[in-house]
Amino acid sequence: MAIEEAREILKHQFGYDSFRMNQEAAIGAVLDGRDCVVLMPTGGGKSLCYQIPALMLDGLTLVISPLIALMKDQVDALKANGVEAAFLNSTQTAAEQVQVFRDVRSGKLKLLYVAPERLLQSGDQFLEFIRSTNISLFAIDEAHCISSWGHDFRPEYLKLAVLKKEFPRIPVIALTATADKLVRKDIFDRLEIGDAELFLSSFNRPNISYRVEPKRNSFDQLLDFLEDRKDQSGIIYCLSRASVEALAADLRDEGFSSLSYHAGLDKQMRDTHQNSFLRDETKIIVATIAFGMGIDKSNVRFVVHMDLPKNIESYYQETGRAGRDGLASESLLFFSWADVIKLKGFAEVDGNASQSAIMLKKLDQMGKFGELRSCRRRFLLNYFSEELADDCGNCDNCTTTFERFDGTIIAQKALSAVYRTGQNFGLNYMIDFLRGSQAQSIRDEHKNIKTYGVGADISKDAWFDHFKDLIAQGFLSQTEGQFPLIKLTEKSMDVLAGNVPVKLIKAKVREEKTKKLVPEVSHPYIQALLDELREIRTRFANSENVPAYVVFSDATLVEMATYLPQADWELLKISGVGDLKFDKYGADFLRSIKDYCQKNGLVSRIDLKSPKRERKQRTKRDVFGKDTYHISYEMFREGKSMEEIAKSRGLGLSTIEGHLARFVASGELRLDQIVPLEKIEIIRKAIEENQEPSLIGPVKTALGDDYSYGEIRAVMAAM
Ligand code: ADP
Ligand code: ZN
């Protein structure tokens, strides 16, 4: 069976246990010779949809990719897994290009990456090349670039129609991470693959949390945010090159490891900064949107937007650069209406009214997102025509309770100001009017109105929030377009007449709810070991001159530091360890893990690793309830003793104690529920007296056989 063979390649060449989302179905379609369009979120794993078929088909797979900068990394990553791949672009010397053509001729190459410009090359040269080569598949990456409805239209993509016309029998697979319905239609139409099969995956990125803060003192807010995330990698986006430079420098002054990236830097500098970030030498990259297209750095833990993105597509794509490894990650946006207004100026596309209208509409959606009071993930997915059954529980609005107070008087002041000035002014004017501003802009005749200045006791920012709140509740409305006006609604009169009380939102009170566990984050990995493994990875990466993730992704190292594989077969069970990487790096990583375990009295936990299941949309219980820790926890809560749980699950007692220790750490169990009271103090003392308090081995040695690893771990967790 072809798909069986595909699975073998997935395991042995790429080191993964199971397919994600629509990978398997898309690969099946390609192998059947059908055209297909694959929509998957950033980080979903689009590349494998054509890389695996490329290895199974006998000819060459031609990959059209818009980003020259990215090609080399993709090819390096493939080569690291033992796949014969190359790219052709203008950065290469003539000799290098000749070599590539030679490798194509000899049939050695399985994948060749080229930019779309190639197809336009002098006369028919490149088409001639295709004709004379045994090509099995065309893969078109970032296929949304073909649509002028999209946010990243590239005219040279239009030429790709020639592929299906000239080579009707070679299947085409088009891939993208952003596509609304119009864009999607353009992909089918313009590539002339009307019969292509569509593989639409959920765009949800459950491991990314969404948060929006008002853009006030944003630098201080940013410092607070970064302070708690000192050893994490992150991207901070700013609108202008100048603010990028300024912020990167300010962060360095504050002691953060940060570099800048924008199109104004020369190529060499850009590359240096980018590589330093990819290799984890620099933690924070401050950048314009020029940065990140196709950057496959899997351990980006946060993405911050200091300024508003132009549209939801960009925002989603940029935040999507966080957490490609599946581990919990964060996005933070500083939002202000001033930004919306500023961007409106840029949204005009010269001499193209319809294009301008599209851009303005997209910007309005971005504004709506900024002031949203309901689940942000729902809004985002809805924007991409997807329904989310429940609120996500992992965005600021889901974890915030809005406290309300009686704001009837405030509402009456606001509404009567709108009424008396004739419903003909924008938000800023209304606020200035209410606060009795002396500004020139306030009309003289308005200064005689009774409501002029009745809201002087309320700050501008607070008025802003109140107006937004009144609009959200339907007591006022705001027109569309470049200069939106505030108008009364049907509900306004009842308020003005004093018939309806109005509740307004006081301030945000953030509940520190314990975050729900995303499955991949629930590993109690050993930080000290992870650090050692990272060092080994850096050594290999430097000696091979590739980014660290090309050796192993963070997710792979975290698994090693969790499951502590001790034997070859155990290491091969770790996600991301394929045959070639196993041969190249396996021995070094194994040695380090074994040494560490020996020193600290630990044994392999590989039996805890069940193959990851496909990430389909599942109910919450499935995703959050069924990992091995929760099974033990639930049995314990049902009244079973630890011995009974160990017996019925066929696991060691110490393993069960370890499971339960996690719930001590999270506060769901009390320490004395799993460690006898009389032992707790003694263990606590032994830990404190230990030179390296996080290492369990020496504590165990000091305490002797009457104390188990599990008990010690539980006390550590509680401390
Ligand atoms: P996209 O192009 O959709 O943004 P990539 O193809 O770059 O995503 O894949 C993102 C990451 O996920 C890569 O590190 C890739 O190796 C990894 N990946 C892809 N498929 C799988 C899978 N089935 N299991 C585990 N990891 C995978
Ligand atoms: Zn939510």
Q: How confident is the model at residue 663 (pLDDT cuts 50, 70, 90)?
A: confident
Specify the pLDDT at position 95.
94
Specify the pLDDT at position 482.
66
pLDDT tens for residues 311-320? 998 999 899 9
Q: Are residues 608 and 649 in the same domain?
A: yes
Q: Residue 43 Cα, ligand 1 centroid: separation in angstroms?
A: 6
Specify the pLDDT at position 293.
63
Q: Residue 575 Cα, ligand 1 centroid: separation in angstroms?
A: 11
34 Ramachandran zone, left/alpha/beta (phi>0; psi -120 to 50): beta
Q: Residue 301 Cα, ligand 1 centroid: separation in angstroms?
A: 17
DSSP H/E element including 66: none
Specify the pLDDT at position 512.
41
Q: Are residues 376 and 412 in the same domain?
A: no
Establish if 285 belongs to a structural domain.
yes
Considering every ligand atom, which ligand is closest to the CA of 377?
A: 2
Domain of 548: which CATH number?
1.10.150.80
pLDDT tens for residues 467-482? 988 988 889 998 876 6
Considering every ligand atom, which ligand is closest to the CA of 553?
A: 1
pLDDT at 513 over 60: no
Measured from the Cα of 41, ligand 1's closest atom is 3
Establish if 661 belongs to a structural domain.
yes
Establish if 520 belongs to a structural domain.
no
Contacts of 87 (CB under 8 A, 6+ apart): 71, 72, 74, 75, 100, 112, 113, 114
Could you tell me the two tokens for 555? 């997710």
Establish if 440 belongs to a structural domain.
yes
- For the stretch 219-223, contacts whose Cβ atoms lie closer than 8 Å and that sit 24 or more positions apart, written own/partner, are 219/247, 219/250, 221/334, 222/304, 222/306, 222/334, 223/254
Q: Are residues 20 and 42 in the same domain?
A: yes
Q: Which percentage of the chain shows pLDDT scores above 90?
A: 46
pLDDT at 668 over 60: yes
Pocket test for ligand 1, best of 324, 329, 577, 612 (most atoms within 8 A of CB): 324
Average the pLDDT over each of 304-308, 377-381, 685-689 and give the range with the smallest value: 685-689
Terminal C-alpha separation, the chain: 54
Q: Which residue, of 176, 200, 224, is where some domain finishes?
A: 200
Count of other CB atoms within 10 angstroms of residue 93 = 8
Q: Residue 306 Cα, ligand 1 centroid: separation in angstroms?
A: 28
Count of other CB atoms within 10 angstroms of residue 623 = 18
User: Into how many domains does the chain fold?
Assistant: 4
Nearest CA to ligand 1 atom 12: 45
Q: Are residues 223 and 89 in the same domain?
A: no
Of 421, 427, 412, nearest to 494 by C-alpha is 412
Is 576 within 8 Å of 16 (Cβ atoms)? Answer: yes
- For 548-580, give one letter per residue: b (16+ CB within 10 A) or e: bbbbbbbbbbbbbbbbbbbeeebbbbbbbbbbb
Domain of 451: which CATH number?
1.10.10.10
DSSP state letter for 395: B
Specify the pLDDT at position 696.
73
As a whole number, mean pLDDT of residues 2-29 equals 93
As a whole number, mean pLDDT of residues 646-661 equals 76
pLDDT at 617 over 70: no
Count of other CB atoms within 10 angstroms of residue 709 = 22
Average the pLDDT over each of 182-191, 502-511, 533-542, 674-683 and give the range with the smallest value: 502-511
Establish if 562 belongs to a structural domain.
yes
pLDDT at 511 over 60: no
Better pLDDT: 70 or 518: 70
- Cα gap 436→442, rounded to integer Å: 9
Q: How far is CA 471 from the centre of its chain?
A: 31
Please report how many Cα atoms fall inside a 13 Å half-sphere around the Cα of residue 162, on the Cβ side. 17
Establish if 521 belongs to a structural domain.
no
Q: Are residues 584 and 703 in the same domain?
A: yes
Contacts of 86 (CB under 8 A, 6+ apart): 75, 100, 103, 109, 111, 112, 113
pLDDT at 612 over 60: no
Q: What are phi and psi of 220, to 5 degrees?
A: -65, -45
pLDDT at 197 over 70: yes
DSSP string, 510-540: E--PPPPPPGGG-----HHHHHHHHHHHHHH
Measured from the Cα of 14, ligand 1's closest atom is 16
Q: How confident is the model at residue 631 (pLDDT cuts 50, 70, 90)?
A: confident
Establish if 515 belongs to a structural domain.
no
Q: Are residues 239 and 183 in the same domain?
A: no
Q: What are phi and psi of 328, to 5 degrees?
A: -55, 135
Is 61 within 8 Å of 50 (Cβ atoms)? Answer: yes
Distances in Å between the alpha carbon of 717 and those of 325, 393, 683, 710?
26, 25, 12, 10
Is 36 within 8 Å of 61 (Cβ atoms)? Answer: no
Considering every ligand atom, which ligand is closest to the CA of 7?
A: 1
As a whole number, mean pLDDT of residues 498-526 equals 61
Specify the pLDDT at position 664.
80
Residue 704's domain comprises: 527-718
pLDDT at 616 over 70: no
DSSP H/E element including 520: none
Considering every ligand atom, which ligand is closest to the CA of 10?
A: 1
Nearest CA to ligand 1 atom 15: 45
State the average pLDDT for the chain: 86
Measured from the Cα of 326, ligand 1's closest atom is 12
The residue whose two tokens read 């404190």 is: 688
List CB-based neighbours of ion ligand 2 within 5 Å.
375, 377, 391-392, 395, 398
Nearest CA to ligand 1 atom 16: 45
- Cα gap 392→516, rounded to integer Å: 10
Strand 400-406 to 503-510 pairing = antiparallel
Q: Are residues 243 and 378 in the same domain?
A: yes
DSSP state letter for 348: P
Specify the pLDDT at position 610.
60
- Pocket residues for ligand 1 (CB within 6 Å)? 16, 19-20, 23, 40, 42-48, 296, 298, 324, 553, 575
Q: Are residues 450 and 555 in the same domain?
A: no
Specify the pLDDT at position 694.
66
Domain of 148: which CATH number?
3.40.50.300
Is 29 within 8 Å of 2 (Cβ atoms)? Answer: no
3-class secondary-structure state, position 135? strand
Strand 135-140 to 172-176 pairing = parallel
- Cα gap 197→254, rounded to integer Å: 52
Q: How far is CA 98 from the centre of its chain?
A: 39
Q: Are residues 384 and 470 in the same domain?
A: no
Of 594, 597, 538, nearest to 568 by C-alpha is 594
Average the pLDDT over each of 177-181, 244-248, 410-414 and give the range with the smallest value: 177-181
pLDDT at 188 over 70: yes
Considering every ligand atom, which ligand is closest to the CA of 577?
A: 1
pLDDT tens for residues 340-391? 888 888 777 777 787 788 888 889 899 999 988 889 999 999 988 888 888 9
Q: Residue 627 Cα, ligand 1 centroid: separation in angstroms?
A: 22
Q: Residue 612 Cα, ligand 1 centroid: separation in angstroms?
A: 14
Q: Residue 671 Cα, ligand 2 centroid: separation in angstroms?
A: 32
Q: Residue 716 Cα, ligand 1 centroid: separation in angstroms?
A: 35
Nearest CA to ligand 1 atom 9: 45
Better pLDDT: 151 or 181: 181
DSSP H/E element including 491: none
Average the pLDDT over each of 257-266, 270-279, 321-330, 634-643 and give the range with the smallest value: 634-643
Q: Residue 367 Cα, ligand 1 centroid: separation in angstroms?
A: 32
- Cα gap 389→372, rounded to integer Å: 18
Across 375-502, the runs of DSSP E, i.e. the strands, are 400-406, 476-478, 486-488
Average the pLDDT over each of 361-370, 419-428, 625-634, 657-666 and give the range with the smallest value: 625-634
Q: Are residues 34 and 122 in the same domain?
A: yes
pLDDT tens for residues 116-168? 888 767 667 888 888 999 999 999 999 999 988 777 788 889 989 999 999 99
Is 442 within 8 Å of 433 (Cβ atoms)? Answer: yes
Establish if 226 belongs to a structural domain.
yes
pLDDT tens for residues 78-113? 999 999 999 998 888 999 999 999 999 999 999 999
Is 306 within 8 Å of 222 (Cβ atoms)? Answer: yes
The residue whose two tokens read 């990314």 is: 208
pLDDT at 303 over 90: yes
Q: Residue 391 Cα, ligand 2 centroid: separation in angstroms?
A: 5
Q: Which residue, of 476, 510, 544, is where some domain finishes?
A: 510
Specify the pLDDT at position 294.
58
**pTM flag (> 0.85):** no
Specify the pLDDT at position 649.
74
pLDDT at 270 over 60: yes
Measured from the Cα of 47, ligand 1's closest atom is 6
Considering every ligand atom, which ligand is closest to the CA of 327?
A: 1
Measured from the Cα of 77, ligand 1's closest atom is 16
Average the pLDDT over each of 493-497, 681-685, 696-700 and give the range with the smallest value: 696-700
pLDDT at 392 over 80: yes
Across 400-542, the runs of DSSP E, i.e. the strands, are 400-406, 476-478, 486-488, 503-510
Q: Residue 401 Cα, ligand 2 centroid: separation in angstroms?
A: 12
As a whole number, mean pLDDT of residues 668-692 equals 83
Specify the pLDDT at position 522.
46
Measured from the Cα of 10, ligand 1's closest atom is 23
As a whole number, mean pLDDT of residues 279-292 equals 89
Q: What are phi and psi of 634, to 5 degrees?
A: -65, -40
Q: How confident is the model at residue 60 (pLDDT cuts 50, 70, 90)?
A: very high
Q: How confident is the model at residue 530 (pLDDT cuts 50, 70, 90)?
A: very high
Q: Which residue, of 393, 411, 433, is where some domain finishes?
A: 393
Q: Are residues 576 and 681 in the same domain?
A: yes
413 Ramachandran zone, left/alpha/beta (phi>0; psi -120 to 50): alpha
Count of other CB atoms within 10 angstroms of residue 182 = 12
DSSP string, 367-426: HHHHH--S-HHHHHHHHTT---SS--SSBTTTTEEEEEEE-HHHHHHHHHHHHHTTS---
Q: Are residues 407 and 373 in the same domain?
A: no
Is 631 within 8 Å of 649 (Cβ atoms)? Answer: yes
Nearest CA to ligand 1 atom 13: 45
As a whole number, mean pLDDT of residues 554-580 equals 89
Contacts of 444 (CB under 8 A, 6+ apart): none
No. of helices (H) and no. of strands (E), the chain: 32, 17
Measured from the Cα of 298, ligand 1's closest atom is 14
Of 472, 350, 362, nearest to 411 by C-alpha is 472
DSSP H/E element including 343: helix 337-347
As a whole number, mean pLDDT of residues 628-640 equals 80
